Homo-oligomer: A and B are copies of this chain.
Amino acid sequence: MARATILIVEDDKAIRLGVRDVLQMGGYAVREAGTGTSGLDIACAGGIDLVLLDILMPEMNGLEMLEALRRARPSLPVIILSALGEGPDRVRGLRLGADDYVVKPFGADELLARVEAVLRRSAERPVARSSLTIAQRTIDLERRQITHADGTRCMLSEREAEVLHYLASCAGRPVSRDELLQRIWGIDPRGVRSRTVDMTIARLREHLRDDPNDPAVIRTIRGRGYMIDAEGES
């Protein structure tokens, strides 16, 4: 990434400008939003590599925005800017899948160090491709369409496609139900014990003609979650 673009979502203009200066000094391109709704629009439009998100904002709560953002762009990294004393929200934020949070007031060095760390981690994440072939099934994630070996096709629903997309982007490691709930459903998975993820996987497997007892595409790793094998493995 030559020059990462960072979106600041923060209602306090003074802080926003200060943060902007720090980031620009650090060599990043910066975009700004004063409200959660406008921030969400900009982030969804694309071209953003990282979001700095204030939790306490009028109009749309930062956490709500985070939830919405996670649904729209599950892999876009987010750092929460939080004031001291927002304990419960902080915890919820991290549980919702924020990549980090910085407590106000923060120094320029600290902010840059965290931004750098998060960007580095996100760069390590393998890019999800828009189409892939697994076990004789060609999967077009853009069109949400599966083509089987015999040439027949079927469509995936929105949720199914999201889950498959995420699993594929994590190919080679097991992905837990909690992680899926966080990243795709935008749900805080504490204590949630529902069959939601399992059912989506079951429907996905049905479309993939994948036998759960002898899976060719989505393997179950008991106690850990689901996994798609990385390329080059059988």
Contacts and interface: CB of A to CB of B under 8 A. Distances in A.
Interface of A: 2, 87-88, 90-91, 94-95, 99-100, 103, 107, 109-110, 112-114, 116-117, 120-121, 123-127, 142-144, 151, 155, 157-158, 170, 172-176, 179, 221-224, 227, 234
User: For the complex, would chain A's binding face be called helix, strand, loop or mixed by DSSP majority?
Assistant: mixed
Given A157-B222, A158-B223, A227-B143, A113 B125 contact: no
A109 B125 contact: no
Nearest to A176: B123
Contact of A94 (B87, B107, B114, B126): B114
A181 to B, nearest CB: 12
A179 B124 contact: yes
- One complex includes copies of this chain to the number of 2
Given A114-B94, A125-B126, A221 B143 contact: yes
Nearest to A182: B120
A143 to B, nearest CB: 7
A174 B117 CA distance: 18
A84 to B, nearest CB: 10
8 contacts: A2-B223, A87-B109, A90-B110, A100-B100, A124-B125, A124-B175, A125-B126, A151-B234
A107 B87 contact: yes
A8 to B, nearest CB: 21
A175 B124 CA distance: 8
A219 to B, nearest CB: 9
A139 to B, nearest CB: 15
Given A126-B126, A176-B123, A116 B94 contact: yes
Given A123-B179, A126-B172, A151-B234, 10 more contacts: A87-B107, A87-B109, A91-B110, A94-B114, A94-B117, A103-B103, A124-B173, A124-B175, A157-B223, A158-B222
